[in-house]
Amino acid sequence: MKPVSYFFTIITCGIICFAVTSFTIKENYVISDLGHFWEAVDSLKDAQTREDSIAIIQKYYLDRMSTEGKMFISIRGYTAPELVNTIRRYPKYLKQVRLKTENISAYTAMLDSGFAKMKAAIPDYKVPRVCFAIGCFRGGGTSEGNLILMGTEIALATSDMDFSELKGNLRTALLKGINLKELVMHESVHGQQFHKKDDNLLAIAMREGCANFLSTYILNDGHLPGLDQYGLENECELWNKFKSGINSEDVSQWFYNTGTIKNKPADLGYFIGMRICEAYYNRQADKQQAIKTLLDRAKYKEVLEQSGYDGHCDNVKADK
């Protein structure tokens, strides 16, 4: 037996060793791609070379993906070689993910309860379709219109899992676990947003902050638990830095910087955007109209102006 074949026999035995659940498309959930992924993993035991392994992932997973799953792969840019590398690096972790996907119906039932809350609170809310697939740890969730695409290897992470194979910022990001309901509801808000799509710092912060604010606020019955502690402690300083680049299209200091940011949490633009939305919402008497305005991408500057948000810098001055 060649070394590569031996290697994949070992890792696939670590990931499988129980029956494959029948994954099917049910109502608003596309879960068939999960079954295809595990079938592909099982088939790696027959691989004699790395090229065999790549061909197996291509044939049993990528070529058989649902329409929604193909969109997920395209948006993230995943390839068969990268998927083979992922399976090779994280066999113990993926075994845990597989166990969770065997009980996917429990997760979809939980999401249904979340969608019911969102629909009751947001005017004209449309319940999205959700596609669960397996990727390469480059995103837990994204949305395309009213379709939500979940990177299940991230989305189903819980704090009680073994993360020993994961390193650096990826491990740090997953150690506390992912709140799947909040993540999916966040992405569902993006499906309700409309109008202008600017790419400057304010537009992205408001788009993401709105999704964070509405999903968290609605799911927690008018409360915002778990606000970023670093953000709260440094809010005035963060706001002053943020507002100086509010029209810039360079958002690297505020978004998508998990792998690059040093000495502070990643993606603090979410926090600032959420705080602006919170301040605006609290000032409005008509809450339903406030939600409609927050969802309108063309009104971000108006929302900021009417929010009165100043990074709570007055509180900092008062403490001095």
Tell me the pLDDT tens digit for each residue of 195-252: 987 899 999 999 999 999 999 999 999 999 988 999 999 999 999 999 999 999 999 9
**Rounded Cα gap, residues 75 and 30, in angstroms:** 17
> What is d(CA 182, CA 110) in angstroms, rounded to the nearest whole number?
11
Count Cβ neighbours within 10 Å for each residue of 11-48 and write b for 16 or more, e otherwise: bbeebbeeeebebeeeebbbbbbbbbbbbbbbbbeebe
Domain carrying residue 14: 3-190
In a shared domain, residues 141 and 205 = no
Asked if residue 243 is part of any domain, the answer here is yes
| Maximum pairwise Cα distance, the chain | 73
Q: Are residue 115 and residue 176 in the same domain, yes or no?
A: yes
Residue where one domain finishes, among candidates 136, 156, 190? 190
Same domain flag for 177 and 221: no
**Does residue 225 sit in the same domain as residue 160?**
no
**Which of 190, 213, 247 is where one domain is finished?**
190
Asked if residue 258 and residue 236 are part of one domain, the reply reads yes
Count: domains in the chain: 2
- Report how far apart the first and last C-alpha atoms of the chain are (Å, whole number): 72
SS3 assignment for 159-227:
CCCCCCCCCHHHHHHHHCCCCHHHHHHHHHHHCCCECCCCCCHHHHHHHHHHHHHHHHHHHCCCCCCCC
Return the closest-CA partner of residue 42 out of 77, 12, 3, 76: 12
**Amino acid identity of 53?**
S
- Phi, psi for residue 20 in degrees, rounded to 5: -80, 125
Residue 195 forms part of a structural domain = no
User: Same structural domain for residues 43 and 183?
Assistant: yes
Same domain, 169 and 245: no
Q: Tens digits of per-residue pLDDT, 65-104? A: 999 999 999 999 999 999 999 999 999 999 999 999 999 9
Same domain, 8 and 76: yes
pLDDT digits (tens, 9 = 90+) for 167-189: 987 898 899 999 999 999 999 99
Do residues 81 and 140 both lie within one domain? Answer: yes
The secondary structure element, H or E, covering residue 144 is strand 141-144
How far apart, in whole angstroms, are the C-alpha atoms of residue 172 and residue 159? 11
Confidence of residue 319 (pLDDT cuts 50, 70, 90): low
- 87 shares its domain with 131: yes
Same domain for 172 and 238, yes or no, is no
Is position 196 within any domain? no
Indicate if 35 and 72 belong to the same structural domain: yes
